[in-house]
Structure 1
Amino acid sequence: MYIKYFLIFIFLSFSISLFAQAKLTSKSLTNRQQSISNDSLPTNRSKGFKNIATIDMYKQFNSELDSISVDTTLSLNKDLKFNYLQKDNFGLMPFANIGQTYNTLSFNASDNLSVPQFGARARHFNYLEHEDINFYEVPTPWTRLTYKTAFDQGQLLDAFFTVNLSKQFNFSIAYKGLRSLGKYQNALTSSGNFRFSSNYHTKDKRYSAKGYIVMQDLLNQENGGITTEDIENFTSGNKEFLDRSVFDPNFEDAENILEGKRFYFEHSYRITTEKDSSNNKLAIVNKISFEDKYYQYDQQSNSTDFFGDAFTNSIKDKVTLENFKTSFGVNYSNKLLGQIGLALNYTDLNYGYNSVVLFQNQQSIPNRIKSNFFGLEGFYSKTYKVFNISGKGSINLSDTFVGSFLDGSINLKLNKDISLSGGVSINSRLANYNYLLYQSDYINYNWYNFDNFKNINTQQLKFSIQSQKFVNAYLDISNIDNYTYFNLEETIDEVNIIKPKQYSKPLQYLRLKIQKEFKFGNFALDNTIMYQNVVGDDAVINVPEFITRNTLYYTNYVFKRSMRLQTGVTLNYFSKYNMNGYDSLLAEFYTQNETELGNFPRLDFFINAKVRQTRIFLKAEHFNSSFTGYDYFSAPNQPYRDFIIRFGLVWDFFL
């Protein structure tokens, strides 16, 4: 119901925008065109703002108060981020249909978490986490519409609107919706991401508050990929199978869905006044977060035996998580000491199912993991001339949910172009919930490892250099103990036996990423290369040794500088390796060492343009699919998409 009212709201704001723009005189329109070319927006200001609005006055920031500039220019980065995730997806291998999952070609071994994550991680690529939500401050109402074509009978649309009702109060509302039928049978995707955020501060800025609501649902029909017998028909380029809908998938009656609601509120009060806080500032801070989410897998029948024997003929697996967390602490800042924050937090979590599984041998699988505990968290930051030192950490005060993390970094700004940084991350936490407890109507997918699995321990060193003139490089070296993963144990009567497994030996993982752009007049060549190496006695982490993305493009103004045009070709490539398989029941990827995939190029040709505040994107994706060989897969038995032309645009307008 809220979606209907939201769309009405967007339509009204859109109509108001058109009416306001129509009232501009010819002189003001000329001035507006000139100012827009300079990213300046002379429009009416919200209450509390003065003078003419310029693009730098439109501010957005995340929960950590890191400022993110509002950028309406046309660049290669805009093309790289113009996708379903709306972020650079280097290191991710998309599946055939938009809205499906991604196979990870690379991963970050460490994370700043002290508790397990909800399972079904393959469904979480488009699931907005806490750090993905932004807050805003704008002098005039700002609306952004993002549109992109999908794969048959569907579209992708993201509509966003924010306004400051006064200098002190802002709210934003947005909804991203997708529907795409796909080229293969039973591959429909449908998702929706609704978000509302707001922030407020008093005129003296002693009290401030911010919060958001996020409601998300991500549904995928699942088909298990094409059958092993049909792989030859795909790789041979048989003309009878170029219409991908003729392939018989492994099954055609399954779907999974991930739904979640998150409510977050944070407020603070500065105890010291502006007069007596020139050197010392002290504030009390309170944060409250509640998330309720579930993952469900439905299959009308188990007649295919793809996942093995089942307890019932109709499959319906559902798991839920309720996670409540609150913290209360103080933030202190001093010109000499820097910024220090310390808080006591409380977590209450409830994960599990509504039934208990009992096998014939009297072995039982419990249905719940529940716990509540206190913890400590803190941060530190200090800037001195060209140096910045920062760190944050957390520890659980619990005997059962033992977990902690510590992340620290040092940044050095040598000059306007060159920045150096180094850091260390130490993390210890339990494996994700679906490794610890899982129930299913399929007999093979029932386990309880809460008492058996140890904490995953990770230590990571990281270094980076940022320089547009020379090179951008990032290096991290990780040591992992008790690495936990889903493993293809064996195949019995064409049924893959996939189980969670914990590796008791240490693993070392090295990742080096280098990016450099070369410019020749209006031409440019942008290169991103990644090298990876895993050291261990067994192949439990499989990643390609090399990943590369290279873009040759041309940029110039046309039509008397009224349009900025950008066109070029992008090459994506990764070396052959034992690519992880996809399990649609778990919505997880698993390690397998039987099928090598990769070593195929993906070429995309694009033409992008900007007219005033509208950016237009036209792309011929994978145009080499018909002449470089049909050996492209996103996972075993999961073919990648064929050549297709897609269109989209991003339209910003300001009242």
Structure 2
Amino acid sequence: MALNDEMRKYLFVFLLLILPLSLLAQNRGLQDRNSSRQLDARNQSLNNRRGDNKTVVDNREKPPIEDYKIISVENDTTHVDTTLSIYKDYKYNYLRKDNFELIPFSNVGQPYTQLGYSFNEVSLLPDIGARGKHFAYYEVGDIYYYHVPTPLTELFFKTTFEQGQNVDAFFTTNMTPRLNFSIAYRGLRSLGKYQHIMTSQGSFRFTVNYQTKNNRYDLKTHFVSQDLNTEENGGLTPLANQQYKSGDDQFGDRSVLEVNYEDAETMLYTKRFFLKHHYKIAKGNDSTGNNQLRVGHILNFTDKEFRFSQETAFAGYGATYENTSLRDEVEYQNVSNTFYGRYKNNLLGDLTFKTRFTDYNYGYRSKLILESGVIPNRLTGNFLSVGGAYEKKIGKVYFNADAMINLSDEISGNYLKANAGYNLNENYKLDAGLTINSRTPDFNFLLFQSDYVNYNWRNNFDNIQSQNIHINLNAKKIAEFQADFTQINNYTYFGTRTNLPENSALDSLVTPYQHNGSVSYSKFKLKRKFTVGHFSLDNTIMYQRVLNGEDVFRVPDLVTRQALYYDNHFFDRNLYLQTGFIFKYFTSYNANAYDPVLAEFFVQDEQEIGNFPILDFIVNAKIRQTRIFFKLENAQSLLDQNTNYVAPLHPYRDFAIRFGLVWNFFL
């Protein structure tokens, strides 16, 4: 849910109170580093009082960029990067991630069609579902913590489609050398070019990072609140599909194309409070922390609500219990407490033992009583999990492993993650890993209720069992190669019903299934960049193959992206310019279709998408700490009318001119 007026008022007052204090604290810290500069400032102030109108120049030495640290929840540390590269352009989108394996719907903030999948992540607990609404969701690992010598601000802005804007404002400062907080808000509003696809979304984030002076106690905590609201239209009508595919110029105004309905919307509203802290009982007896012993605690409280609402029932989804004012709403809460102890020894390695207690609550407000039985309204419970982790590094070889298991019959599950690598030097690295995970399918596969009759079920599916092997060979002077081999048993998916009455007008009623065979999936990715003078060609090629289960698991065989561009410095290196073309292509395949009632994708056999080029022309520039982006998106449609799809019934984006910037302030 977007920040209301009262929340905005409190946020404004909070910033007014905190910002002057933080500026004062950090300025004092900088002055204390050099007493002579402090004395010069005082003398300059006295001269000003005596009528000397000379300009005051701040000659304090600016901290290096490496001092502006970005820290992950696992304590991996990088620093702020204000450079401009082609990889920054790849991430200059709503997700602020490289979306090579994704194709966006026509409007910003809508779902994405996936061109590739990753099975390296593990889970012991099912989620709420509605995966089509989670592309922009901030997971725990997406939140970072900071340590900065002076206040830091970053502003992100990018134009959208028709009316609206996409902004992301971020501020962080150290109140003391050991206490940092950050606050950020991402807002989106975009009308879109088609009828009834407006998106209105907001994401508020707040973090705190703290360490005691003796370094025994460390705390990282954050709060995230997100509302992801999207108008839904169900895609183009059969007639509008014919008009769109005709390529006739009279349908170049996409707002004239009819859609299936104009009175529905979906909303995912989420809140999360996360706390991770530890205390070192024994600090260790040398700089490496040998014989260090720490105890820690991790709290994760997550609350999610998904809602589908519609004024008038759509016949394409089947019969309904209500003809008007349809409203499906489900809620999910998860509270987990993890306690762990970690012992670090230079000879034995790092040993961690942990236990987790989880309480979950998923469901609806009332039960559904049918002639065939009763569909309950709640899935609740709690369970205990135990596990451990191990890390060891010997010279240039490293190894780590992590494992946990649920001690529960209702929500069973376990995982094992093992990774080993060899770093020959900074130019050659080899990494390989194994991931094994058994978990319950998401809750919306198990229990779902709706005003649409077809969308009501209670299932008892077996655990999804996946095994993944990944290999990553990074030779900077040659190429980077990645390979993934995945096998999935009891693969669970949404598909269309196959038991409809003969001559039924409905042929696309969606329901959950569990595949009784195995899915075998391999993915190979190659990255290579060539540079000659000021010209560069950056290549990414991905080849995929589904060996088993191709009838339920669909991916394109080939996905490729090439960026050909020129870059150089101008005006005494005050301006860095980057301009060129980005080309993307993927082979045709039966991509999954999108169902707004579930906010999920489902397997279909009616329509292929793909086999068309995507060409963007870019002009990017960097002036001091400001990066400016200008792009002609989907320029290929200037030569021929766009008739391509991102998913069945959902057209791909037309040509658009979009621009924006990322601006860093160092106070």
Residues 422-470 of structure 1 deviation map (CA, whole Å, 9 limit, x = unaligned): 1111000011110011100000000111x3x100001111101112211
Cα deviation, residue 621, structure 1: 0.3
Q: In the alignment, what sits opposite 1:279?
A: 290
Question: What pairs with 1:40-439 in structure 2 (closer than 5 Å)?
Answer: 52-275=62-285, 278-302=289-313, 304-313=314-323, 314-359=325-370, 361-439=371-449
Aligned pair partner of 1:555 in 554, 564, 567: 567
- The yes-or-no answer on 1:603 pairing with 2:615 is yes
CA positional deviation for 1:331: 1.0
> Which residue matches 1:33?
none
TM-superposed deviation, 1:233: 1.0
1:534 counterpart (546, 552, 555):
546
Who is 1:36 aligned against?
none
Is 1:634 aligned to 2:646, yes or no? yes
Residue-by-residue CA offset, 1:541-600 (whole Å, 9 max, x unaligned): 010000011110111011221100001100111000101100011100001112111101
Q: Within 2, Cα distance between the matches of 1:293 and 1:402?
A: 22
The answer to whether the Cα contact below 8 Å between 1:191 and 1:217 also exists between their aligned partners in 2 is yes
Q: CA deviation at 1:110?
A: 4.6
Instruction: From the superposition, tell whether residues 218 and 4 of structure 1 become closer, same or farther in structure 2 (CA, over 3 Å).
Output: farther
The C-alpha deviation readout for 1:120-147, integer Å capped at 9, x for no partner, is 0000000101110101011110000000
**Residue identity matched to 1:474:** Q
Task: Using the TM superposition, give the Cα deviation of residue 235 of structure 1 relative to its aligned residue in structure 2, in angstroms.
Answer: 1.7
Contact kept? 2:232, 2:263, Cα under 8 Å: yes
TM-superposed CA distance for 1:390, in Å, is 1.1
- Deviation, 1:10, is 6.3
Aligned partner letter, 1:202 = T
Aligned residue identity for 1:416: E
1:479–1:275 Cα change, 3 Å: closer
Deviation at 1:337, TM superposition (A): 1.4
Matched, 1:475 2:483: yes
CA distance in 2, matches of 1:3, 1:338: 49
Residue 72 of structure 1, CA deviation = 0.5
Please give the alpha-carbon distance, in whole angstroms, between the structure 1 residues aligned to 2:513 and 2:661: 45
SS at match of 2:508: strand
Deviation, structure 1 residue 495: 5.0
CA contact (8 A) 1:121 1:587 kept: yes
Cα offset, 1:109, TM superposition: 3.2
CA drift of 1:627 comes to: 2.3
Which residue of the partner structure matches residue 48 of structure 1?
Answer: none
How far is 1:356 from its partner? Answer: 1.0
The residue type paired with residue 11 of structure 2 is F
Following superposition of structure 1 onto structure 2, how do residues 585-604 of structure 1 map, counting pairs within 5 Å?
Answer: 585-604=597-616
Shift of 1:5: 4.0
Give distance in 1, aligned partners of 2:567 and 2:399: 39
Aligned letter for 1:6? L
Residue type of the alignment partner of 1:458: S
Stretches of structure 1 that go unaligned for 5 or more consecutive residues are 22-27, 29-41, 46-50
> Contact 2:289/2:344 (CA < 8 Å) preserved in 1?
no
Show CA shifts across 1:290-320 (max 9, x none). Answer: 1111000000111x31211100122100000
Q: CA RMSD in A?
A: 2.2
What amino acid maps onto 1:239 in structure 2? D
One-letter code of the match for 1:57? D
Residues in 1 aligned to 2:564 and 2:445: alpha-carbon distance in whole angstroms: 44
1:461 equivalenced with 2:466 (yes/no): no
Contact 2:497 2:507 survives alignment (8 Å): no
Question: Which whole-Å CA distance do the structure 1 matches of 2:360 and 2:652 have between them?
Answer: 38
In the alignment, which residue of structure 1 is the partner of 2:30?
Answer: none
Aligned residues of 1:44 and 1:140 also touching (Cα < 8 A) = no
Query: Match for residue 34 of structure 1?
Result: none
In the alignment, residue 340 of structure 1 is paired with which amino acid?
L
SS of alignment partner, residue 316 of structure 2: coil
Per-residue deviation, 1:358: 1.6
Q: Which residue in 2 is equivalent to 1:496?
A: 508
> How many angstroms does 1:259 deviate by?
0.3
Distance in 1 separating the partners of 2:17 and 2:438: 50
Q: Does structure 2 retain, via aligned residues, the 8 Å contact 1:17–1:654?
A: no
- Separation of aligned partners in 2, 1:616 and 1:238: 35
Aligned residues: 627
Q: How much does 1:190 deviate?
A: 0.7
Change (3 A) 1:44 1:298: farther
CA 66–44 in structure 1, closer or farther in 2 if over 3 Å, else same: farther
Query: Within 1, Cα distance between the matches of 2:360 and 2:150?
Result: 41
Alignment of 1:505-516 (within 5 A): 505-516=517-528
Deviation at residue 378 of structure 1 after TM alignment: 2.3
For the pair 1:570 / 2:570, whether they are aligned, the reply is no
Q: Which runs of no fewer than 5 residues in structure 2 stay unpaired?
A: 1-5, 28-36, 38-56
Q: Which amino acid aligns with 2:343?
A: Y
The amino acid that maps onto 2:486 is S
TM-score, length basis structure 1: 0.92
Q: Relative to structure 2, which stretch is displaced further, 123-132 or 553-562? A: 553-562
Distance 1:454 1:351 in 2: 18
Question: SS of 2:430's equivalent?
Answer: strand
Give the drift of 1:69. Answer: 2.6
Question: Which of 558, 564, 573 in structure 2 is aligned with 1:546?
Answer: 558
The answer to whether the Cα contact below 8 Å between 2:520 and 2:549 also exists between their aligned partners in 1 is no
Residue matched to 2:11: 6
CA contact (8 A) 2:284 2:290 kept: no
| Equivalent pair of 1:600/1:631 in contact (CA under 8 Å) | no
When structure 1 is superposed on structure 2, of 627-636 and 613-622 the one drifting more is 627-636
Larger radius of gyration: 2
Alignment of 1:612-623 (within 5 A): 612-623=624-635
Give the distance between the partners of 2:430 and 2:549, measured in 1 at CA.
Answer: 34
- Check conservation: 1:421, 1:463, Cα contact below 8 A: yes
Q: What residue identity is the alignment partner of 1:400?
A: E
Normalising by the residue count of structure 2, what TM-score does the alignment of the two structures yield? Answer: 0.91
- Tell me if 1:579 matches 2:591: yes
1:166-217 CA distance string (max 9 Å, x none): 1111000000000000001100001111000001111110111111100000
Cα distance change on mapping 1:545 and 1:242 into 2, 3 Å: same
